[in-house]
Chain A
Amino acid sequence: MWTLLRLELFKIFRRPRTYIPFGAIAAMILIIQLGLKFDGRSYLELMMSSLSDSFLIPYNMIMNGYLVAFVILNTLLIQVPLLVALVAGDIIAGEANMGTLRSLVIRPVSRTRLLLVKFYASVIYTVALLVWMALLALLLSMLLFGTNDMMIARNTVMEQIRSSDVLWRYFAAFGYATVALSTVAALAFLLSVFADNSIGPIVSTISIVIVLTILSEMRIPLYDNTVKPWLFTSHMLAWKGFFYSRSDGQGAAIPGTVENLPAILRSLGVLLLYIVGFVTAAIVSFKKKDILS
């Protein structure tokens, strides 16, 4: 299994197109960092306009590496699934298109193992993208903007997380994002089984994610308790929960706590169920599939 996985990763990371999402992420992050570096105060004033009447906002203190990373994650974790789909959607359909799928299937390896290895490789690719994103969004922002307590605006409330209580939240958030993005990878992977050309699964995955995200964000009471809780897109942004602490009697955040951990774990469970479902469906379909490409 390990040899097959290494071969799969070798193939992925030898393809020039693999690095396009890395470049795209770097470009987007640098653009945001540059903008905030030179005009961060205007951005904060705009974002906190509803709070500025009630509080005297210390903009210089707020604008630090942790907040910038949070802003970047808020912006990018909606777009990154689309980048993940580029590779995961290509992983089987691309081989079918090149004709190499035939050469793989006639080797003495079971189709289930072949498929699992390909899925693990797409998850590793997703992790690599997130590590890259973490390095640029968090570490580079810390270097460029320095560190301080993190202020999070939530409805009409400002929450303060102590500087020493921030990093673990980022690690947890990135860990959660890995599962969330792996769900998208699993969907693209499933669709990839049915196609002989990678454009179909990539576009289908992106379309599904967009439609379901819109549905998840819409405030229609009919869907709130019936459809939304079961859409994987409703749970993809639950990583934000790691930045909401429980508060003590005076409204101060308690370090090391998360306000609603069960909700995060429930969302995590839903995503994992989706992953298992998508991958199982992919394996069942692939085992029955006639390779005609």
Chain B
Amino acid sequence: MSPIVQVDGLTKIFKEQEAVNGLSFTVYPADIYGFLGQNGAGKSTTLRMLLTLIAPTAGEIRMFGMDLRTHRRDILRRVGAVIERPDLYKYLTAWENLSLFARMSGLRPDRRLLQDQLELVGLAERAHSKVGTFSQGMKQRLGIATALVHDPDLVILDEPTNGLDPQGIADIRNLILHLSHHRQKTVIVSSHLLSEMELIAGRMLIIDRGKKITEGRVDELFNPAETIVELETSNAEDTAEKLSQSGWQANLRERRGGKFLLKMDKADIPVLTRDLVALGIGVLAVQPRHSLEDYFLTLTTANQHVDTFTA
């Protein structure tokens, strides 16, 4: 299967600051590709380079088998995107915005097409309302409709759930899944929320400070055999002593105050619980967590400390 997007050694330096550093990744057809990283990790810069909004300092981008530098127009004809917040003309109606962006993409949209797009994102009834009167969620959905109006093969969505309420987040998530599963679109979606990515992405890239941390299939990255279990008990000292004498000592990775982190297969959690009770340990909580999540949280926490000190 030939890739839709192939990025090799992508680098962007703003003056002295390295925003993206030697990033390489591949996106395959009909996949939902998650782009995960905390704020400022370089996600938006990378996506902007894919869309020719920013010129790379170094590296190569190939999309649909073509070099982005030499085939910009051919490539962009097959790409739809919403970068950060949806960019719409507030003084125009939803219908006018959609029609305008369709024409900008070289289409001559008929009523049916515009109507279908608005129905897809649940805005058919507000077609002739000015966008200035829309909620954030409605603007986001209309933004996605403008990205889809020319029926692109690749859809790029940068933090599409930012600023949305839980219902809005669920709507966008379902829309992304619909695009991939029913319309066979390839979707690149960025987020700083691992839980979001886990729900929708087939493959995922984790980026931090412009560098790739890991890339792979989500089900492999979230390997159940690599689950970290967080154990909280009523008496930490007693627990530490009893665990050290049990067979679970080999699984113990870390002690954080009154909590213990054990690396194990998710399927073994009932056995652990039974053993703890048998050892007379007062169990307050047993919480499974993926090692990836733990790793991502470590990254996030580390940078939050930096932010606190530099703020």
Chain A residues near B (Cβ < 8 Å): 3-4, 7, 10-11, 14-16, 98-110, 288, 290-292
Contacts and interface: CB of A to CB of B under 8 A. Distances in A.
Nearest to B146: A103
B53 A102 contact: yes
A106 B88 CA distance: 14
Given A7-B100, A10-B100, A106 B89 contact: no
Interface stretch (B21-29, B79-87, B179-187, B226-234): B79-87
A14 B87 contact: no
22 contacts: A7-B104, A10-B100, A11-B100, A14-B92, A98-B87, A99-B86, A100-B87, A101-B87, A102-B87, A106-B51, A106-B53, A106-B83, A107-B101, A108-B77, A109-B104, A110-B73, A288-B55, A290-B48, A290-B53, A291-B48, A292-B48, A292-B54
A106 B103 contact: no
A238 B70 CA distance: 46
A101 B51 CA distance: 13
B89 A4 contact: no
B91 A16 contact: yes
B262 to A, nearest CB: 45
Contact of A11 (B84, B87, B89): B89
B304 interface: no
A15 B90 CA distance: 10
B101 to A, nearest CB: 7
B287 interface: no
B124 interface: no
B55 A7 contact: no
Interface string B58-96: 000000000000001110110101011111111110001
Contacts of A103: 87-88, 101, 146
A108 B106 contact: yes
Contacts of A98: 87, 89-90
Interface of B: 14, 48, 51-55, 72-74, 76-77, 79, 81, 83-92, 96, 100-101, 103-106, 146
B105 A291 contact: no
Contacts of B106: 108
Given A3-B103, A106-B76, A107-B101, A14 B52 contact: no
A110 B72 CA distance: 9
Given A7-B104, A106-B79, A108-B76, A100 B51 contact: no
A117 B229 CA distance: 60
Contacts of A100: 87-89
Given A3-B103, A7-B104, A107 B76 contact: yes
Contacts of B79: 106
A16 B90 CA distance: 12
Contacts of A14: 89, 91-92, 96
A4 B146 CA distance: 16
Interface centre among B79, B100, B146 (most CB of A within 10 A): B100
Contact of A105 (B53, B74, B89, B96): B53
Given A98-B90, A108-B74, 20 more contacts: A10-B100, A14-B96, A99-B87, A100-B89, A102-B53, A103-B87, A104-B104, A105-B53, A106-B53, A106-B79, A106-B81, A107-B76, A107-B101, A107-B105, A108-B76, A110-B73, A290-B54, A290-B55, A291-B53, A291-B54
Contact of A4 (B76, B92, B104): B104
Contacts of B14: 290
Contacts of B55: 288, 290
A108 B72 CA distance: 7
Nearest to B79: A106
B52 A105 contact: yes
Contacts of B146: 103
Interface centre among A4, A104, A107 (most CB of B within 10 A): A107
B105 A108 contact: yes
A105 B76 CA distance: 10
A109 B100 CA distance: 14
Contacts of A102: 53, 83, 87
A156 to B, nearest CB: 54
Contacts of A16: 91
Contacts of B72: 108, 110
Nearest to B143: A103
A182 B2 CA distance: 50
Nearest to B106: A108
A250 B106 CA distance: 65
Contacts of A108: 72-74, 76-77, 105-106
A278 to B, nearest CB: 23
